[in-house]
Amino acid sequence: MNTRLALLFAGGLSCLYASTVHAQAVSAGVMSVEDAPRHFIRTVTGDWETPIRRDDGTETTYTYVPPTKIEPEITVSIARDPTQATFIYQYELVNGPSAQQQLAKLDISYLNAAFVKALPPGWVNESTPADGRVILRGSLDGALPSGVGPGESLGGLVIEAPILPGIGKVESQGNTLGAVEIPRGLSNTQYHELVEITEKSEVEVPTMLPSIHIGLGEPELTLAVLLARIGGDYVSGFLDYQHPHAAALEQAFRGIYGIGDELGNPRLQEALSWVLEISQLPVENRWHQQMSAGLEVCVRAVLDGVVPDHRPYRPGELGER
């Protein structure tokens, strides 16, 4: 099952929830009676503008700047700790040249045994144990978070986990102000349009994440079940992202299911070797390369007998997030 890597920030939400906004909007003076129809119009720069009427009867223009004017890419290299089934994920954050904002906020869903080992220079980990996710932002530049500028890249983010890589998503935002302010003078139509516009306040970025459990705290996990987890994640991911070797991978995993749990079984060894060969086939697309590399890490861990790993899960062994 693919992981979805979500991004909300305490004290800095860029998205609006209708229940919250309704109370804010009423107190801020949303008009209950329509005059001439007024609507939000998207500008050539990607902002949203609408005319509003002040309390004194004069008009002004309200502009909403979405935090999605970025062109994010997240690449990763994955290494295995030589002494145990722990995997080190080293990420690079990229913001494409067409971006109009800095890439400044990330929300990475994670599983309990993962923790942030290192951060990019100046970045802050805003996660708490109850979040269920890793929440990161760039250092503040006045009221705004700074981050990765257009056409730039930044390394330094390292996550460690006794969890195999799977295909997931991170939610990202640009360096805009936090919560959306509901201006006075909005009509009901304008208010509902603003709610709809602000519902999309993140840009999803596909990347490889620690998402496939290998057996820690699961003494009943068998090799067959682990292989089913790996196959389910990568076959569906290859198909979803139109990886050129998706059909071959699907066929290869069909040959694995039902063989059994004995790694020494020649049939299983042959089937796993085929999957390994597929993971090493050349591909041109950089995201497809990342997916293939993640699959190779998984298969090598199985062939080396490193996983399944039935150690008791002890968070203290990994350190603090």
DSSP 101-162: S-EEEEEEE--TT-EEEE--TT-EE---TTTSEEEEEPPEETTEE--BPTTEEEEEEEEEES
pLDDT in tens, the chain (321 residues): 444 333 333 333 333 333 333 333 333 444 444 456 789 999 999 999 999 988 888 999 999 999 999 999 999 999 999 888 899 999 999 999 999 999 999 999 866 678 899 999 999 998 876 667 889 999 888 878 899 999 999 999 999 999 999 999 999 999 987 667 888 889 999 999 999 999 989 999 999 999 999 998 889 999 999 999 999 999 999 999 999 999 999 999 999 998 989 999 999 999 999 999 999 999 999 999 999 999 999 999 999 999 999 887 665 555 443
Task: Report pLDDT for 157.
Answer: 97
Task: Report pLDDT for 130.
Answer: 66
Task: Report pLDDT for 314.
Answer: 64
| Structural tokens at position 179 | 């919560």
Task: Report pLDDT for 54.
Answer: 86
Task: Report pLDDT for 120.
Answer: 96
The amino acid present at 73, given as its one-letter code, is E
Tell me the pairing of strands 41-42 and 203-213: unpaired
Nearest 5°: CA angle at 189, between 188 and 192? 85
Task: Report pLDDT for 178.
Answer: 62
pTM (two decimals): 0.83
Task: Report pLDDT for 234.
Answer: 99
| Structural tokens at position 312 | 């008791």
As a CATH number, domain 71-175+202-211 is 2.60.40.290
What's the alpha-carbon Rg for the chain, to the nearest Å? Answer: 24
**DSSP assignment, residue 132?**
S
Task: Report pLDDT for 7.
Answer: 33
Q: How far is CA 253 from CA 92, 172, 208, 249, 294, in A?
A: 31, 33, 20, 6, 16
Q: How crowded is the C-beta side of 32, counted as CA atoms within 13 Å?
A: 3
Task: Report pLDDT for 52.
Answer: 93
**Domain limits, the chain:** 18-67+179-198, 71-175+202-211, 214-303
Task: Report pLDDT for 112.
Answer: 67
Task: Report pLDDT for 312.
Answer: 79
DSSP E strand stretches across 48-130 = 48-53, 59-64, 72-80, 87-95, 103-109, 115-118, 124-125
Interatomic CA distance for residues 143 and 128, integer angstroms:
22
